[in-house]
Amino acid sequence: MTKIAFIGLGNMGGPMAANLLKAGHLVTAFDLVQVALDEFVKLGGVAASSASEAVIGAEVVISMLPAGQHVAGLYLGDERRQDGLLKLLAKNSLVIDSSTIDAQTSRQVGAAAQKLGISFIDAPVSGGTAGAKAGTLSFIVGGEKDAFAQAQSILKAMGANIFHAGDVGSGQVAKMCNNMLLSVLMAGTAEALRMGMENGLDAEVLSDIMVKSSGRNWALEIYNPVPGVMEGTPASKDYQGGFMVDLMNKDLALALAAAKVSDSSVPMGQQASMLFKAHGEAGHGGLDFSSIYQHYANNKV
């Protein structure tokens, strides 16, 4: 049993913290939203009235927050007020930040933690809210080998696949690369299927041909974007559930910002970002990202 502080009980953090309780860990949590804390207490967790209170005696601190500024604010705090959480943590404790944020912030927090003798890993996840509930998330970890090893038993209580991408910040970079590729694959798949359909082909027949040919990819295999082609996919459920367009846009913005820093050429990522941005701005931000198919269906040249 490990004494864990969990900060951020949102759509992802709530079920992740619940799985830690199920695995027998002692979890004290804090969230700005009282209802989230009340739900957590019902499951057997302990609610704290602040992040500082949550970390008292904690061996491991996990955060699952919306964006980089929340993570920096939590751990580093205000420079003049010196109110960052890191200052309150015991030497040799472990910090796991599972939020999807920019790698620069992860590195900044990691360096500050290291100065205080605290281990830090960035461990963004893939698998969505369904994976968070089922405890089958993929963790993509950046950090030193020892810290990665130290985190194993905790991450296993919340996930099925745990990857070590490299140094601190690498987890974020790997996740950005994956999601940028995913956006390109999904848009390309929707584009090819729609063009085939507009030339008289049946979507199911064309999908079957391409999934067994060189156009084969994850979207065609298990996440077909055309309604009715594949049972159980978001496309066949009015694009409800799954991975929201708004979240894809968040990840693409992070990817493009990282590409700018490294001077990397990412024309496909830029193109996909433009498409998903327009789709979100047209009022579809809450739909699953495979709904990009609708963008093609609704925008004839």
Both tokens assigned to 146 = 């020892």
Q: Is 41 in the site for ligand NAD (CB under 6 A)?
A: no
**Segment near ligand NAD (CB under 6 A); pick from 26-34, 86-94, 225-233, 272-280:** 26-34
Q: Is 4 in the site for ligand NAD (CB under 6 A)?
A: no
Cβ-based nearer residue to ligand NAD, 133 or 156: 133
212 is catalytic: no
Are the CB atoms for 96 and 74 separated by under 8 Å? Answer: no
Cβ-based nearer residue to ligand NAD, 159 or 269: 159
Buried b / exposed e over 261-272, threshold 16 CB at 10 Å, is eeeeebeebeeb
Residue 232, sorted as left (phi over 0), alpha (psi -120 to 50) or beta, turns out to be left
Alpha-carbon dihedral sign for residues 237, 241, 243, 248? positive
Q: Closest approach of Cβ 152 to ligand NAD, in Å?
A: 20
CA distances in angstroms from 223 to 108, 138, 178, 228, listed in the order given: 36, 18, 16, 11
Catalytic residue among 3, 175, 237, 277: 175
User: Quick one: which of 6, 20, 31, 62 contacts ligand NAD (CB under 6 A)?
Assistant: 31
103 CA to centre of own chain = 13
Q: Is 110 in the site for ligand NAD (CB under 6 A)?
A: no
Q: Is 249 in the site for ligand NAD (CB under 6 A)?
A: no
- The C-alpha R_g of the chain, in whole angstroms, comes to 21
User: Quick one: which of 18, 60, 72, 74 contacts ligand NAD (CB under 6 A)?
Assistant: 74
Q: Is 274 in the site for ligand NAD (CB under 6 A)?
A: no
Instruction: Kindly report the length of the chain.
Output: 301
Active site residues: 175
Applying CB under 6 A, which residues contact ligand NAD? 7-13, 30-33, 36, 51, 64-66, 70, 74, 99-100, 125, 128-129, 243, 247, 250
